[in-house]
Amino acid sequence: MSEFSEGYHLRATAHEAAVDLLRRAQLPGFVFPASNGWVSVFPQGMPFQPNERFLAANDGTLLYFFHAGDHGWGFTLYVGPNAVAHYLCSWDPELHVDRPLDLVAFESVLGPMLTSLGQEVVESALEPKSIEQALSHPPPTIFANAIGLAHFEWLSYEYLSSDRERGDPLPPGVMHIEVS
C-alpha cells in the first residue's frame, strides 16, 4: 500500500498556537505536541487541496506538506495566508520536478535549514536523479528530517479521523479539536 500523507506544520513552540488557528478557521482537526519548533496540525478539508479556510486564518509561518507515495510529493510555505515558496515533484509515470523550489525565498523565512546541511542533502531531497532513487531514499523523508518535522509519515486528517472512529487510540499527546 502506498503512503498518503498530508498536513500542515506551524512554526511554533507550543500546541496552543495550532489549536487557536483551528478555532479561528472554525475547523475541527488534530494537533500534535510541539517538536523542533514545529506543531503539526491536520484540519478537516478536501484531501490534497489547499485548505483555503485554514490558510485564510493563518497569521504565522505554516508549511503545507504532502506525500503521495507512488506518485510524488510537495510542499508550500506560507507566511500568513500568502504562499512564499512552493515545491512539487512527481514520479508517476516519469520523474519530473513540476515546480522547483525557490531556495532563497524558502530560507528567507526559515533560515538556512537546508543549505546548512550541504549540497548533497539539498540535491537528494529536491533533485532526485531517478524514480528508483526517489523510492529507495524518499525525498519527502530527507526534506522533513532536514527541517525538523517529526509528524509527517502516514498522517492525514482522514487517517486520524478513521482511527478515532474505529476506537483506536490517537498517537501520544495528540489532541482532537472540535469547533462549535
- The residues, ordered by sequence, that sit 6+ positions from 17 with a Cβ below 8 Å of its Cβ are 10, 39, 60
Task: Please give the single-letter amino acid code of residue 70.
Answer: D
Give the closest residue to 45 by CA, choosing from 139, 157, 121: 157
Question: Residue 48: which region, alpha, beta or left (left: phi > 0; alpha: psi -120 to 50)?
Answer: left
Dihedral pair phi/psi, residue 115, rounded to 5°: -65, -30
Contact 57/49 with Cβ under 8 angstroms?
Answer: no
Q: Is 161 helix (H, G, I), strand (E, B) or coil?
A: helix
For 24-74, the pLDDT digits (tens) are 999 999 999 999 999 999 999 999 999 999 999 999 999 999 998 778 899
Give the closest residue to 174 by CA, choosing from 38, 48, 34, 11: 34
Question: Is the overall model pTM greater than 0.75, yes or no?
Answer: yes
Contact 10/21 with Cβ under 8 angstroms?
Answer: yes
Whole-number pLDDT of residue 134: 79
- The residues, ordered by sequence, that sit 6+ positions from 60 with a Cβ below 8 Å of its Cβ are 10, 11, 12, 17, 21, 79, 80
Distance between CA atoms of residues 149 and 40, nearest Å: 8
For 79-129, the pLDDT digits (tens) are 999 999 999 999 878 888 988 999 999 999 999 998 888 998 888 889 988
